[in-house]
């Protein structure tokens, strides 16, 4: 009887460990969003945790060079985040800011 109880406790402990490892791996390495390139607009669909927001935005903007974020992506494009092609004014301002930061 004690052997059965010990086996049950070991089994429950193993299940808890597997559950914890699964949760840890999913939150650290598995992305919960999908990036879709629709020509003019690049959309990010899915759930983005608050502490992973900078990484998700970096992934979105690195899809193509010369993109800028859209303010109200959900109402305009029906997605979590969106980026469109930046105008020459936006690109010039970005380059000027980068040059100022280097000096």
Angle at 52 between CA 23 and CA 36, to 5 degrees: 100
Angle, alpha carbons 54-28-24 (nearest 5°)? 145
Radius of gyration from C-alpha coordinates of the chain: 22
Across 83-92, average pLDDT: 82
Mean pLDDT of the 68-79 span: 90
Distance CA 85, CA 25 (A): 34
Residue 91 pLDDT > 80: no
Q: What is the pLDDT of residues 5-40, one digit of tens each?
A: 888 888 999 999 999 998 888 777 778 899 999 888
| Full-model pTM | 0.64
How much is the mean pLDDT over the chain? 87
With H, G, I as helix, E, B as strand and everything else as coil, classify residue 69: strand
Q: What's the pLDDT at 44?
A: 94
Distances (CA, A) of 37 to 8, 47, 103: 50, 18, 35
Token pair for 70 = 């859209």
Find out whether 67 and 44 touch, Cβ atoms under 8 Å.
no
Judge whether residue 45 has pLDDT over 90. yes
């Amino acid at each position: 009887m004690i052997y059965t109880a010990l086996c049950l406790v070991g089994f429950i402990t193993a299940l808890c460990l597997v559950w914890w490892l699964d949760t840890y791996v999913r939150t650290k390495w598995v992305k919960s969003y999908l990036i879709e390139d629709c020509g003019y607009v690049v959309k990010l669909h899915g759930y983005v945790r608050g502490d992973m927001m900078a990484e998700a935005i970096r992934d979105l903007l690195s899809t193509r060079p010369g993109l800028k974020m859209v303010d109200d992506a959900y109402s305009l494009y029906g997605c979590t985040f969106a980026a469109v092609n930046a105008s020459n004014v936006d690109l010039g301002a970005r380059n000027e800011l980068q040059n100022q930061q280097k000096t």
